[in-house]
Amino acid sequence: MHDVMLSTDNLLQNPQSGTAAKIESLARLYLEGNPAEISGATIAQFCDWLWVEYQSLPLNLEFSWYERYENASEMFADVQKSHLWVSGENYDTTLGLNPIYNFIFQAIHDYDHYLTNSDFSLEGEILTYNATAKRVPSLNVQKIIYSESVLRPAAYVFLGHAPISKIVFP
């Protein structure tokens, strides 16, 4: 399973020094953090940015409830053919967005995995976040993406299941 979530199997197969401690630290920021209060203006700015990014994606995006990439290599092979499956499973953000924006966000995130040649490990999620964060219009949008792309996946791995969805600004 991927899309916005880390793969537990990937982390177990590729243990790296300090990874467990990093996951726990990031997971606690998410799990113990209060939901952020996000202004309508920030949400509008985020959606406007997502729409512009979406228009520049050179991919045929396909929605699926069931298609999953087992690893980054499998996803990269599809991207090289200008195709990307986007999972409907991870559309549980609490931003109150139209579901199309969650779909777009997930596609942008996965394409950034490809652009950074990063896997679905914690380090890969952080590399992907850093690439995305450089293009966003504001610090608050960066924080939303950090919560969704790094903190929530770390909480997923830490708990062994999806955490309650929220956006936190640590």
3: left (phi over 0), alpha (psi -120 to 50) or beta: left
Per-residue confidence (pLDDT) for residue 170, from 0 to 100: 87
Per-residue confidence (pLDDT) for residue 91, from 0 to 100: 52
Per-residue confidence (pLDDT) for residue 33, from 0 to 100: 97
pLDDT in tens, 118-168: 999 889 999 999 999 999 999 999 999 999 999 999 999 999 998 998 999
* Strand 83-87, strand 60-64: pairing: parallel
**Domain extents for the chain?**
8-159
pTM: 0.86
Alpha carbons 74 and 3: distance in angstroms, whole number? 12
Per-residue confidence (pLDDT) for residue 90, from 0 to 100: 57
Amino acid at 169: F
* Average pLDDT value over all residues in the chain: 86
Per-residue confidence (pLDDT) for residue 28, from 0 to 100: 97
